A and B are shown apart, each in its own frame.
Chain A
Amino acid sequence: MAKLKNTDELKALRDKLSKETFDPNAHRIRACCGTACTATGAHKVIAAFEKEAAASGVAIDIVKTGCQGLCQKGPVLKVEPNNIFYQRTKTTDVPAIMDYSIKGNSAYRQGLYRDNFLSEPIPLMLEIPFYKKQLRIALRNNGIVDPRNIEHYLAVGGYAGIEKALSSMTTDDVLNEVDKANLRGRGGAGFPAGRKWAHSKGAKSDVKLVIANGDEGDPGAFMDRAIMEGDPHSLIEGMLLCAYAIGAQYGFIYVRHEYPLAVENLKIAIKQAEDLGILGKNILGTGFSFTIDIREGAGAFVCGESTSLVASIEGERGYPRPRPPRLSEIGGGPWGIPGNLNNIETYACVPVIIDKGSDYFRSIGTKNSPGTKVFALTGKVKNTGLVEVPMGITLREIIFEIGGGILDDKEFKAIQTGGPSGGCIPAEHLDLPVDFDSLASVGSMMGSGGMVVLDEETCMVDVAKFFLSFTQSESCGKCPPCRIGTYHMLELLKKITSGKGEDGDIEKLEKIGEQIIAGSLCGLGNSAPNPVLTTIKYFREEYEEHIHDKYCRSKVCSGLGTYTIDHTECFLCGLCKQACAFGAVKELKNSFYIDQDYCTKCKACYTACPIKAVKIDKQKGKPSTSLKRSK
Chain B
Amino acid sequence: MNLKVDETIGHIREVISEKDKKRGILIHTFQKVQHEMNYLPEDALKMISEKLDIPLSEVYSTASFYKQFYFTPRGKKIVKVCTGTACHVRGASAVMNKLEEEFKIKEGETTPDLSMTLETVGCIGCCGLAPVATVNEDIIGEIDRKKIAAIIDLIKSE
Q: Which of B107-141 contact A (CB under 8 A)?
A: 121-130, 132, 138-141
Partner of A315, one of B26, B88, B132: B26
Q: Which residues of A contact B154 (CB under 8 A)?
A: none
Contact B65 A315 (CB under 8 A): no
The number of chain B residues with a CB under 8 A from chain A is 46
CA distance A135 to B125 in the complex (A): 22
Partner of A416, one of B65, B85, B129: B85
Contact B126 A300 (CB under 8 A): no
B57: min CB distance to chain A, Å: 12
CA distance A316 to B63 in the complex (A): 9
CA distance A257 to B28 in the complex (A): 11
* B23 interface residue per 8 A CB criterion: yes
Partner of B129, one of A40, A252, A296: A40
CA distance A181 to B55 in the complex (A): 49
Q: Which residues of A contact B125 (CB under 8 A)?
A: 35, 216, 221-222, 225, 258-259
Contact B62 A378 (CB under 8 A): no
Interface-side segment among A79-87, A113-121, A379-387: A379-387
* A71 interface residue per 8 A CB criterion: yes
A475: min CB distance to chain B, Å: 12
* A191 interface residue per 8 A CB criterion: no
Q: Which residue of A lies closest to B138 (CB)?
A: A39
Contact B30 A298 (CB under 8 A): yes
* A427 interface residue per 8 A CB criterion: no
B20: min CB distance to chain A, Å: 5
Q: Which residues of A contact B126 (CB under 8 A)?
A: 35-36, 39, 71, 222
Contact A458 B89 (CB under 8 A): yes
Contact A315 B25 (CB under 8 A): yes
* A342 interface residue per 8 A CB criterion: no
Q: Which residue of B lies closest to A318 (CB)?
A: B65
* B61 interface residue per 8 A CB criterion: yes
Q: Which residues of A contact B104 (CB under 8 A)?
A: none
Q: Which residues of A contact B66 (CB under 8 A)?
A: 298-300, 317-318
Q: Which residues of A contact B86 (CB under 8 A)?
A: 219-220, 378-379, 384, 452
Given A222-B126, A298-B67: A317 and B61 within 8 A (CB)? yes
Q: Which residues of A contact B27 (CB under 8 A)?
A: 296, 298, 312, 315
B2: min CB distance to chain A, Å: 18
Partner of B83, one of A35, A219, A294, A458: A219
Q: Which residue of A lies closest to B24 (CB)?
A: A315
Q: Which residues of B contact A71 (CB under 8 A)?
A: 126-129
* A291 interface residue per 8 A CB criterion: yes
Q: Which residues of A contact B23 (CB under 8 A)?
A: 314-316
Partner of A293, one of B12, B88, B89, B123: B12
Contact A38 B139 (CB under 8 A): yes
B40: min CB distance to chain A, Å: 11
Q: Which residue of A lies closest to B62 (CB)?
A: A317
Given A222-B126, A298-B68, A378-B130: A39 and B140 within 8 A (CB)? yes
Q: Which residues of A contact B26 (CB under 8 A)?
A: 315
Contact B127 A378 (CB under 8 A): yes
Partner of A316, one of B62, B84, B139: B62
The number of chain A residues with a CB under 8 A from chain B is 60
B53: min CB distance to chain A, Å: 12
Contact B128 A384 (CB under 8 A): yes
Contact A300 B123 (CB under 8 A): no
Q: Which residues of A contact B11 (CB under 8 A)?
A: 250, 291, 293
CA distance A296 to B94 in the complex (A): 32
* B39 interface residue per 8 A CB criterion: no
CA distance A301 to B66 in the complex (A): 9
Q: Which residues of A contact B87 (CB under 8 A)?
A: 219
A75: min CB distance to chain B, Å: 11
Q: Which residue of A lies closest to B25 (CB)?
A: A315
Contact B89 A385 (CB under 8 A): no
Contact B16 A219 (CB under 8 A): no
Q: Which residues of A contact B127 (CB under 8 A)?
A: 71, 220-222, 376, 378, 384
**Looking at B25, B27, B67, B128, which has the most chain A CB atoms within 10 Å of its CB?**
B128
Contact A466 B88 (CB under 8 A): yes
Partner of B139, one of A35, A312, A467, A470: A35
Q: Which of A39-55 contact B (CB under 8 A)?
A: 39-40
Contact B89 A452 (CB under 8 A): yes
Contact A298 B128 (CB under 8 A): no
Q: Which residue of B lies closest to A280 (CB)?
A: B11
Contact A335 B85 (CB under 8 A): no
Contact with A along B1-39 (1 / 0, CB 8 A): 000000000111001110010011111101100000000
Q: Which residue of B lies closest to A218 (CB)?
A: B123
* A499 interface residue per 8 A CB criterion: no
Partner of A296, one of B17, B31, B130: B31
CA distance A252 to B128 in the complex (A): 29
Q: Which of A289-326 contact B (CB under 8 A)?
A: 291, 293-296, 298-301, 312-318
Q: Which residues of B contact A39 (CB under 8 A)?
A: 126, 129, 132, 138-141
CA distance A594 to B61 in the complex (A): 52
Q: Which residues of B contact A596 (CB under 8 A)?
A: none
Contact with B along A202-228 (1 / 0, CB 8 A): 000001010000001111111001000
Partner of B122, one of A209, A315, A470, A607: A470
Contact A337 B15 (CB under 8 A): yes
Q: Which residues of B contact A314 (CB under 8 A)?
A: 20, 23-24
* B103 interface residue per 8 A CB criterion: no
Contact B65 A300 (CB under 8 A): yes
Instruction: Report 9 cross-chain contacts, Cβ distance below 8 Å, ordered by A residue.
Output: A35-B139, A36-B128, A36-B141, A252-B12, A295-B28, A378-B127, A380-B90, A452-B86, A466-B88
Besides A39-B140, A257-B68, A466-B85, 12 more A-B contacts (Cβ < 8 Å) are: A40-B129, A74-B128, A216-B125, A219-B85, A220-B123, A258-B123, A291-B10, A296-B28, A316-B23, A378-B86, A379-B130, A470-B122
Q: Which residues on A are within 8 Å of B, measured CB to CB?
A: 35-36, 38-40, 71-72, 74, 207, 209, 216-222, 225, 250, 252, 257-259, 291, 293-296, 298-301, 312-318, 335, 337, 376, 378-380, 384-385, 416, 419, 450, 452, 454, 458, 463, 466-467, 470, 474, 476, 607
Shortest 10 CB-CB contacts between residues of A and residues of B: A71-B128, A293-B10, A299-B67, A219-B84, A222-B125, A298-B66, A378-B86, A315-B26, A220-B85, A378-B127
